[in-house]
Structure 1
């Protein structure tokens, strides 16, 4: 529909700006455009917030909305990379262990950080949780891929089944961490596993944004190789692509950005599944267009979901993971039916 439409990307950019402004303006405390402008003006002049509205805008609402948009872009790009890597449109980080592995790593930090040596804490600093989450995500993703691989081919059914098993193992680990944790730590793990942007800070925006920007730029360099991989591994080799090397690099890139985002905002599922699938219907499967489009649309949809979660029970909040799962699960079922993975075959296959 929009494969050759030159206005598609400008439309997404304009829509993203509108959604970001609405997400900043609406909430338990309404922020008018005049408050935004004056707050930015005072900030550039080196002055503090002049009133509560400027304070909410600079210290709470703006970092939250920016972190939400960046996280949406990360999860969507991750979905594109994973689906291109496995050549299947129903793969996303939450289904292949990446998110749950990162969640387990972050849960370990929540509970065990007081026992870490001061040297480790001072060396890692604010990156302690992202680093542990990265290794947890990398280990879980590699385990799923290795166990699902058979005869140099990854079966999507094996991938889903192994992903379920690895997710269960990670959930068991998180359950154990919650069991041995203190009440405050257990409560933090519970809410964190539902996904939450309420504690967003400028430091988190800087860390996640920096990692995302670097990985986005690198990912775009692999768009042609991912396009070649869509033809099959043998055909990709004929076109000069090393599939094994490409898989290792894409898995590292994907794991790094998902782990960093998950470490700060918790587990948010199905965004990486919905956005790439919608965009393939609109603009096709060319990763050179699909990757940047997924950044924009992912940021738009997750920001909308977060705004909806803040408004539906204001001044209370609905965790964003609940909203994305509520919308994403039916879409996932539809995709499974579309690819005939829920059809019973009778006999021993029933």
Structure 2
């Protein structure tokens, strides 16, 4: 595949993102927007535009978090949910729904904000349990294994919660499959703030990620304070992941595929990779959101199903191409 220059790639990704926002504003589950209608203008500016911008930001947060986690663990299969963030958010939402009976589809604005906050806290709790089980951030392999264990245990507890209160299954399904339908201007504001903070921390710690590609010993010999850098990176991608999951639920594959796609098109150091992965993740989730709205009108598909299908197909094609014998 032809390699692109970073500036060209970033421009293309931003153009795709802008086109996705425009398509998200003009295309809805009921068809194309009637720009001459007064009621439609309210729908465009108060519902569709914040939803599209929010979808871009959620994808951008997952993309940058994926780039950080893959660099930190030196594993191309690492994703933002690796340290128990998604399973923690899922358990927190399941417990909240079981105890209060709140449904994201019918809740008032106050109740929705409450669930959003609960999901964010659950994300941080999941990551915190992983750090406690791993006894800090010094050993990457221990962190990886601790994240897997915490994820399995919390997912099992989520299953128990849904068995205890089966009425929440439909609401939980919307959260577990991803949902952009409730994004508003407050969601955009929250994700923008968290995204800016996460990307600044990621850029400051990116030299450590570059050094880690040469190995732990080499990175330490270069004077990198790896314990501090790991802690900062985990905080950054936990913040980004928590903000995205709290607003949209669990959206599959975006955080895994976006860094892969960027590295395939343009190999680069981690500072630029984090920014490019954010742009790629935003474009991917926007495309998936427009497809989810338009594919089965007037019904909407869960956006997580679309991203899982697109991401799975991309990884299968990538695996086939790399596994094909050279001639």
Deviates more, 1:254-263 or 1:137-146: 137-146
Alignment of 1:15-164 (within 5 A): 15-31=16-32, 35=35, 51-112=38-99, 128-141=114-127, 143=129, 154-155=140-141, 159=144, 163-164=147-148
Which consecutive residues of structure 1, in runs of 5 or more, have no partner in the other structure? 39-49, 116-123, 341-350
Which residue of the partner structure matches residue 251 of structure 2?
Answer: 268
User: How far apart are residue 20 of structure 1 and its match?
Assistant: 1.4
**Count of matched residue positions in the alignment of Structure 1 and Structure 2:** 315
Report which structure shows greater RCO (CA 8 Å, sep ≥6): 2
Cα distance in 2, alignment partners of residues 250 and 292 from structure 1: 15
CA contact (8 A) 2:124 2:238 kept: yes
Show CA shifts across 1:288-346 (max 9, x none).
Answer: 21111111111111100011111111110110111222233455567789999xxxxxx
CA contact (8 A) 1:103 1:263 kept: no
User: How far apart are residue 148 of structure 1 and its match?
Assistant: 7.5
Q: Which of 146, 150, 154 is matched with 1:166 structurally? A: 150
CA contact (8 A) 1:68 1:302 kept: yes
CA RMSD of the aligned region, Å? 3.4
User: How far apart are residue 217 of structure 1 and its match?
Assistant: 2.3
Task: Find out whether 1:311 has 2:294 as its counterpart.
Answer: yes
The structure with the largest alpha-carbon Rg is: 1
Which residue of the partner structure matches residue 41 of structure 1?
Answer: none
Cα distance in 1, alignment partners of residues 318 and 84 from structure 2: 19
Q: Which of 193, 196, 200 is matched with 2:176 structurally? A: 193
CA contact (8 A) 1:101 1:167 kept: yes
Cα distance in 2, alignment partners of residues 230 and 127 from structure 1: 40
337 and 155 in structure 1: CA distance in 2 versus 1, 3 angstrom threshold: farther
Show CA shifts across 1:115-154 (max 9, x none).
Answer: 9xxxxxxxx99765455434433443455577679xx654
Cα distance in 2, alignment partners of residues 260 and 302 from structure 1: 15
Cα distance in 2, alignment partners of residues 126 and 190 from structure 1: 16
Which consecutive residues of structure 2, in runs of 5 or more, have no partner in the other structure? 103-109
Q: Which of 272, 278, 281 is matched with 1:295 structurally? A: 278
Cα distance in 2, alignment partners of residues 200 and 70 from structure 1: 11
Cα distance in 2, alignment partners of residues 103 and 339 from structure 1: 35
Task: Give the TM-score, by structure 2 length.
Answer: 0.83
